[in-house]
Amino acid sequence: MAENQYTEDNIRSLDWKEHIRLRPGMYIGKLGDGAAADDGIYILVKEVTDNCIDEFVMGNGKRIDIKVRDGKVTVRDYGRGIPLGKVVEVVSKMNTGGKYDSKAFKKSVGLNGVGTKAVNALSSHFMVYSVREGKKKQASFSKGELIEDLAIVDTDEQNGTYVEFIPDETIFKKYAFKTPYIEKMMWNYCYLNRGLAMYFNGEKFQSKDGLKDLLENNMDGDPLYPIIHIEAEDIEVAFTHGKTYGEDYYSFVNGQHTTQGGTHQSAFRESVAKVIRDFYNKNYEASDIRQSIVAAISIKVVEPVFESQTKTKLGSQEMEPGGKSVRTFINDFLKEKLDNHLHRNPEVADLIERKIKQSERERKELSGIRKIARDRAKKSNLHNKKLRDCRSHLTDLKDERREQTTLFITEGDSASGSITKSRDVNTQAVFSLRGKPLNCYGLTKKIVYENEEFNLIQAALDIEDDMDNLRYNNIVIATDADVDGMHIRLLLLTFFLQFFPDLVKRNHVYVLQTPLFRVRNKKKTIYCYSEQERRNAIEELGKNPEITRFKGLGEISPDEFKYFIGDDIRLEPVILSKDASIDSILSYFMGKNTPERQEFIIENLRVEKDIAEIIEENDTEDNNLEIAS
C-alpha cells in the first residue's frame, strides 16, 4: 500500500490575492448571484463605500457618488484622497491602511484593512486613483495582479478617491445587481450619517433626522404614536409601535447594518421591557410590551468584535476593552432618556400602555387555541408527509451553511416528490401544500392556529413566538408557472405579509425560478427560463433541436431538478420597495374587487394572450416541439 508522503513539497505559501480568491467566503461571506441582499457583490460595493464613509466621519467630504452600469461599479468620494505614494499598497498589500491608527479610526468598522484588497482580488478589473492637492495617482489591476502603475500627474480634479471594479464572473457566476438592495444600502448610510449626500446613478439620498427618518420611510402604515427619537454620545435610538404582528428591528454598529442583531439588539429588547415595566410599576410580559414594536438602534463601539467577516452580528460584550458592558450602557441610556420622554409625554405613555394591554388580551385569547394547535402540529408535522426536513437548521449552525438552509414550499405531491429526491438533505427541506391555501387577508392571527396548512407552516419554520428561532434562512415558494401556481404564490405571500412581515423585510422569502423549456440535441442540453432564452438556445444548437415545454414542476424529473436547486439555483427575492405599504398591497390584490384591479387584470390578460399567440406561432414552426406531460 502506497504511503502518504508529507514533505517540504506539500507545504505551499499563497500570496494575498491567491488566498482571497481560493477562500473568498472568509473575506466577503457567501458569493451568491445578487438575489440576496448579503450576496458577495453587494459586500464588494460596501467594502469600498465604507472607506468613503470613514472619510466623511473624520470630517472630510460630504458627498459620495456611486454608479452601477452593466456590472461595473464606480465609487467616488471627495475626502482627503489616499496618500499618493501608498495608492498601490493600500489596495494590494495586506496589513496596510490608515485604519491601524486607532486615534484616526477609533470606531471604524473595517479595522482589519482587508476590504479593498478583497475587492481587488475578486474583480476581473479594478482601477483606483487618488487626487491630493492638484496631483493624481492611478493604478489598475486584474484579479489582484497589478496591470498598470501610472506616474503621478497634475490634475484639476477635486481631492478624493475613485474606485471602479467589475466582479470576476469566474467567481460570481451569472450575477446581477438588484437596484433595491443598493438603494437600501445608500439609505442606511445616510440615516447613520446625517449631512452626507449620496448619489446612486444620479439619484440623491440624504437624511435630516437619522433613525427617525429610517422608521418613517420603512414603517408599514402610520405609527401608533409619534416616533420616540433619543440619542447621546455613541448611541441613537428611534422606536414606536405599529399595526403589524411581530417585532421589527434595524440595528447598527459603527455604521454597519447588523442584520442578524447581536448583543446590542438583545440589550435593547431587554432594556425597553425593563424600563417600561418600571415606569408603569407593573410586571407586564416582555412579549406584550414588544408586540408590534418597530425600532432602530445605532451604537459606536471601540474595536467591535463580529461573529463573521461580513459583520452581520455583533459579538462584543463591552463598549471598549475593559469598559462598560454593551448591556449596561444601553440600559442606563434608556433608563434615563426613555423614562424622561414618557414623563414629559403622558399621552404617548397612555397609548403605549393601551397597546400593551391589547396585546395581553389577544395573547390570552389565543393561549387555548395555541395549545391545541401546538399539540396537533407535534403529532402531524414531524411524522406526516407534509414536511421532509433537513439535517441542519439555521439555529444549529455557525458556519457558512447557515446561508444555505432552505425550506421549499411546493404545491402537491408531484413537485415535492421531485424536489425531495434531488435536494441536498443536509440543508434543504420540503413542505408540501394540500390544495390552495386560504386567503387570510384581513383575518386575525387566530386563523393561523385554526387553519391546518398555516399552523403547520408556522410550526415548520418555528416562528410562533420569536423570529430568532427561524429554522431556515431561505423560504422558497416553488409553484408552477401557470395561473393556479401564481394564485398559490400570492396566497402564501399574503400569509407571510399579513402575519410574519419580518420574513419578507429581512429578505428570507424567495420565489423559485424553474425552466420553461428544455432545448437539446445529441451533444448538448440547454434549459431556458424565458422565451428569449429559448430562441437563443435554438440558434446556438442549430437546426431541429428537440424542444420540451415544462408545464409544471411535477413534470421535471428528479435527475433534472437537481440542477435547478443546486449551485445554479435561480431565486427571485420578494422585495418590498421603500414606498410600499403592506396593507395597501394586500388590499389591492387580495381585498374585494375594485375597478382598478379589474382594469389591471384585463390589461395583463391582453399581454399574456399576445405572448401565448407568439409562442404558439413559433411552436407551429418547430415541428419537433414536445409538451412535457
pLDDT at 614: 42
Task: Judge contact between 96 and 87, C-beta under 8 A.
Answer: no
- Kindly indicate the confidence band of residue 390, based on its pLDDT and cuts at 50, 70 and 90: confident
- Report which of residues 36 and 583 the model is more confident about: 36
pLDDT at 505: 84
In a domain, 372, yes or no: no
Regarding whether 234 and 149 lie in a shared domain, the answer is: no
- Report which of residues 128 and 574 the model is more confident about: 128
154 membership: H or E segment, kind and range: strand 153-154
- Kindly indicate the confidence band of residue 112, based on its pLDDT and cuts at 50, 70 and 90: very low
Q: Is the pLDDT of residue 628 over 50?
A: no
Mean pLDDT, range 203-211, rounded to an integer: 96
Long-range contact list for 465-469, CB < 8 A, 24+ apart?
465/287, 467/246, 467/247, 467/500, 467/502, 467/503, 467/506, 468/261, 469/395
In a domain, 501, yes or no: yes
Regarding whether 407 and 480 lie in a shared domain, the answer is: yes
Q: Is the pLDDT of residue 339 over 60?
A: yes
pLDDT at 476: 95
pLDDT at 578: 66
Mean pLDDT, range 124-134, rounded to an integer: 95
Look over the chain and give the mean of its residue pLDDT values, rounded to a whole number: 84
Q: Of 217-226, 313-322, 479-488, where does mean pLDDT reach its minimum?
A: 313-322
Task: Judge contact between 494 and 440, C-beta under 8 A.
Answer: yes
Regarding whether 412 and 350 lie in a shared domain, the answer is: no
Q: Is the pLDDT of residue 414 over 90?
A: no
In a domain, 289, yes or no: yes
Q: CA-to-CA distance for 329 and 494, rounded, in angstroms? A: 40
Regarding whether 72 and 141 lie in a shared domain, the answer is: yes
Tell me phi and psi for residue 130, to 5 degrees.
Answer: -125, 140
Range of the domain at 51: 16-205
pTM for this entry: 0.77
- Kindly indicate the confidence band of residue 437, based on its pLDDT and cuts at 50, 70 and 90: confident
Mean pLDDT, range 446-462, rounded to an integer: 87
Longest dimension (CA), the chain: 83
In a domain, 1, yes or no: no
- Kindly indicate the confidence band of residue 618, based on its pLDDT and cuts at 50, 70 and 90: very low
In a domain, 2, yes or no: no
- Kindly indicate the confidence band of residue 336, based on its pLDDT and cuts at 50, 70 and 90: very high
Regarding whether 419 and 275 lie in a shared domain, the answer is: no
Domain boundary among 149, 174, 205: 205
In a domain, 249, yes or no: yes
Q: Of 158-162, 330-334, 443-447, 576-580, where does mean pLDDT reach its minimum?
A: 576-580
Q: CA-to-CA distance for 194 and 62, rounded, in angstroms? A: 10
Q: CA-to-CA distance for 509 and 496, rounded, in angstroms? A: 9
> In total, how many domains does the chain have?
3
Q: Is the pLDDT of residue 274 over 90?
A: yes
In a domain, 538, yes or no: no
pLDDT digits (tens, 9 = 90+) for 161-199: 999 999 999 999 889 999 999 999 999 999 999 999 999
Regarding whether 179 and 200 lie in a shared domain, the answer is: yes
Query: Could you give the residue ranges of the DSSP H alpha helices within 122-262?
Result: 179-192, 211-218
Mean pLDDT, range 441-466, rounded to an integer: 85
Regarding whether 246 and 196 lie in a shared domain, the answer is: no
pLDDT at 611: 43
Mean pLDDT, range 54-64, rounded to an integer: 90
pLDDT at 561: 85
Amino acid at 140: S
pLDDT at 67: 97
Name the DSSP class of 554. G
Q: Print burial letters for 412-449: b (CB count within 10 Å at least 16), e (below 16).
A: bebbbbbbbebbeeebbbbbbbeeebbbbbebebebbb
Please tell me whether residue 90 adopts helix, strand or coil conformation.
Answer: helix
pLDDT at 303: 79
Secondary structure in 3-state letters for 519-553 = EECCCCEEEECCHHHHHHHHHHHCCCCEEEECCCH
Mean pLDDT, range 144-172, rounded to an integer: 95
Q: Of 118-132, 233-247, 437-451, where does mean pLDDT reach its minimum?
A: 437-451
Q: Which residues contact 202 (CB under 8 A, 6 or more apart)?
A: 67
Regarding whether 569 and 447 lie in a shared domain, the answer is: yes
For position 401, which CATH number holds? 3.40.50.670
Regarding whether 100 and 226 lie in a shared domain, the answer is: no
Secondary structure in 3-state letters for 598-624 = HHHHHHHHHHHHHHHHHHHHHHHHCCC
Q: CA-to-CA distance for 187 and 202, rounded, in angstroms? A: 14
Domain boundary among 324, 358, 392: 358
- Kindly indicate the confidence band of residue 309, based on its pLDDT and cuts at 50, 70 and 90: low
Regarding whether 226 and 345 lie in a shared domain, the answer is: yes
* Nearest residue to 321 via CA among 302, 305, 298, 300: 302
- Kindly indicate the confidence band of residue 629, based on its pLDDT and cuts at 50, 70 and 90: very low
| Helices 531-541 and 595-621, packing angle to 10 deg | 10
- Report which of residues 203 and 17 the model is more confident about: 203
For position 116, which CATH number holds? 3.30.565.10
For position 290, which CATH number holds? 3.30.230.10
Regarding whether 251 and 221 lie in a shared domain, the answer is: yes
In a domain, 536, yes or no: no
Q: Exposed/middle/buried for 203, CB within 10 Å: 0-12, 13-18, 19+?
A: exposed
Long-range contact list for 107-113, CB < 8 A, 24+ apart?
107/234, 107/254, 107/300, 107/301, 107/302, 108/50, 108/54, 108/57, 108/254, 109/50, 109/253, 109/254, 109/255, 109/256, 109/304, 109/311, 110/47, 110/50, 110/51, 110/54, 111/303
Regarding whether 253 and 175 lie in a shared domain, the answer is: no
pLDDT at 429: 92
Q: Is the pLDDT of residue 326 over 80?
A: yes
Task: Judge contact between 37 and 172, C-beta under 8 A.
Answer: no
Mean pLDDT, range 266-274, rounded to an integer: 94
Please report, for residues 371, 373, 509, 570, the alpha-carbon distance to residue 368 in angstroms, rounded to integers and kept in the order given. 5, 9, 30, 42
Q: Is the pLDDT of residue 625 over 60?
A: no
Task: Judge contact between 438 and 453, C-beta under 8 A.
Answer: yes
pLDDT at 105: 55
Beta strands in 233-329 (DSSP E): 235-241, 248-253, 256-257, 293-299
Q: Is the pLDDT of residue 316 over 80?
A: no
% of the chain at pLDDT higher than 70? 85
Domain boundary among 158, 176, 205: 205
pLDDT at 122: 94
- Report which of residues 3 and 542 the model is more confident about: 542
- Report which of residues 471 and 416 the model is more confident about: 471
